[in-house]
Amino acid sequence: MRATFASHLETKDPESGGRIERVNAAVYQEILEHFVLPSADELYGDANFIIQQNYLAPAHTAKSTKTWFSDHGITVLDWPANLPDLNPIENLWGIAKRKMRDLRPNNAE
């Protein structure tokens, strides 16, 4: 089973109410703690939880974020070195096209 979490996050400063332009490691860890972990617990229960994240984002590669994952027993998949823009959804389009091609009628009726 697999779950996908937010692709775009907009956060607001709790004191000023203004938009935070950049999600730093501390903000990212708060998001993980308050949104991702509860969702993972609901979806997977006690099962192992594995996450894949964008290693181009500094909040994801911060030492404190790596420690946070380790402290919570969460496995982080390695980001393939030769595919920096890996997007798993792209594989789905090829599968969908093949399935649709198989459904085409063989005659004009």
The domain ranges of the chain are 11-80
Give residue 6's pLDDT: 47
Q: Which residues, including other chains, have CB under 8 Å from residue 74's CB and lie 6 or more apart?
A: 49, 50, 51
Question: What pLDDT sits at residue 108?
Answer: 64
Q: Which residue has the tokens 């089973």?
A: 1
pLDDT of residue 95: 82
Residue 50 CB contacts under 8 Å (≥ 6 apart), including other chains: 74, 75, 76, 77
pLDDT for 72 beyond 80:
yes
Measured distance CA(28)–CA(9) in Å, rounded: 10
Question: Helix or strand or coil: residue 89?
Answer: helix
Higher pLDDT, 46 or 64: 64
Q: Which of 2-6, 31-35, 90-94, 100-104 shows the highest mean pLDDT?
A: 31-35
Cβ neighbours, 10 Å, residue 32: 20
Residues 75, 72: Cα–Cα separation, whole Å = 9
What is residue 64's predicted lDDT score, i.e. its pLDDT?
Answer: 96
> Which whole number is the average pLDDT over 2-22?
59
More confident residue, 22 or 64: 64
